[in-house]
Amino acid sequence: MNGNEHTMNYADQTGSHNYYQNLYNMFGGQNPLLDKHFTSLRRLGFSAGFVMLMCILMQNVVAVFIRFTQLSSLYASDTFYFHAISAVAQFFYTFLPFFVLFVFSKPRERKQMNIFEMPKSKELFILAVFAGLMFCMLGNTATSVLAAVISVFGIEFGSGMEDLAVPSGFMGILIYVINFAVLPALFEEFAFRCVILQPLRKYGDWFAILATSFCFAILHGNMVQIPFAFIVGIALGYFCIKTKSIWTSVTIHFLNNLFSVITTICYNEKPESSTFFYYVVTSAIVFAGAIAMVLFKLNCNVKLKKDATVMAKNKVLKRAAFVTSPALIFSIYNAIYTSLSLTRVQSAPGVLMLFGACVFASYLLIKWILTIRKDSRLKPRKTNTAALIITGVLTAVTVFTLFGISG
């Protein structure tokens, strides 16, 4: 799809303004065109939130199935079977919910998701991969710095994967790579850079990238991975759009996870030398990635598209429309709750800091919901009241959880 086609598909043409829109233009009141795009964004936010909740539900279904079958003993006692079963489970709780959303998406949106061709330029693809890996390394560094700063206040974040054993032998290592590098790259990129990102591009590429990265981060559900996933998600979305192919982000995602897997294996074998290996390779990737990024910018003529709808002049409303759908609010608080359940707090300042962060997040959500409710250009919606009640209840649950972990 070229730029002209994009504009014709997404621009609000004067001819499409109906009778009621003309009345708004003359007298004010409810704006049918703005309300139409608000509804579209709210639906996309609901779809993203709902499918992420389905991922969480499927995780629990798979866990119950494993627990009450003969797989339970193998899963708990054998490292190889643990990773093999986990690899199969990913299909059900990561790929399947998003595939269902893909199948039931509107035909036009499903057509937009068709970005499965290889990049046209091999040179730009290679440059994008190196530049993308650089952002992965920078994301790792930023997350480490954040963890170090937070630890000063007696806060220690966990991911729930600290005690995962690394298998031995060729087949064990192979299934380990498949579980942590191959399948996440394929399933998560299909889920986020294809199913979630592409329909949102109607409202501007940068908005789509940031909104998708936000969803990508909260699905990880722990503060060890959330900041990293958000930073890396921006790079993955950017290079996916720039090269017009999901395979660019799949490759970056795979190589980043593969590097993490190799580092973990090396650390288990030789802790001292693996640390040196990590910093040398990281430095080399950042250096090569910086050069690649400059060359990519100089040679790639694909421009990120701007919002051509009426929402372009209503940026706060645009963010609020997507984020404040009840399903996405549930997903946000699930990420907060899960993060807190994996967090250790050993000081009063740490409790106050986390309390302040949770209250601030709730304040933003409530502020955006009230902004929507007070906007006379939009039709009144019961979902706004539901979103307000859900936010209030989940805020109380979060605060209760926070003081529970501090005890």
Question: What is the 3-class SS of the chain, one letter each residue?
Answer: CCHHHHHHHHCCCHHHCCHHHHHHHHHCCCCHHHHHHHHHHHHHHHHHHHHHHHHHHHHHHHHHHHHCCCHHHHHHHCHHHHHHHHHHHHHHHHHHHHHHHHHCCCHHHHHHCCCCCCCCCHHHHHHHHHHHHHHHHHHHHHHHHHHHHHHCCCEECCCCCCCCCCCCCHHHHHHHHHHHHHHHHHHHHHHHHHHHHHHHHHHCHHHHHHHHHHHHHHHHCCCCCHHHHHHHHHHHHHHHHHHCCHHHHHHHHHHHHHHHHHHHHHHHHCHHHHHHHHHHHHHHHHHHHHHHHHHHHHHCCCCCCCCCCHHHHCHHHHHHHHHCCHHHHHHHHHHHHHHHHCCEECCHHHHHHHHHHHHHHHHHHHHHHHHHHHCCCCCCCHHHHHHHHHHHHHHHHHHHHHHHHHC
365-380 mean pLDDT: 93
pLDDT at 138: 95
271-278 mean pLDDT: 78
Q: Which residue's structure tokens are 């109906």?
A: 18
pLDDT, the chain, mean? 88
Burial classification of residue 258, based on how many CB atoms lie within 10 Å of its CB (0-12 exposed, 13-18 middle, 19 or more buried): middle
User: How far is residue 208's CA from residue 139's CA, in Å, rounded to a whole number?
Assistant: 20
Confirm if 263 and 274 have CB atoms less than 8 A apart: yes
pLDDT at 20: 57
Confirm if 119 and 247 have CB atoms less than 8 A apart: yes
Confirm if 316 and 371 have CB atoms less than 8 A apart: yes
pLDDT at 387: 94
- In the predicted model, is pLDDT for residue 342 greater than 50? yes
User: How far is residue 221's CA from residue 94's CA, in Å, rounded to a whole number?
Assistant: 13
pLDDT band, residue 28 (cuts 50/70/90):
low
- In the predicted model, is pLDDT for residue 1 greater than 50? no
Domain residue limits, the chain: 31-304+312-406
pLDDT band, residue 224 (cuts 50/70/90):
confident
- In the predicted model, is pLDDT for residue 16 greater than 60? no
- In the predicted model, is pLDDT for residue 219 greater than 50? yes
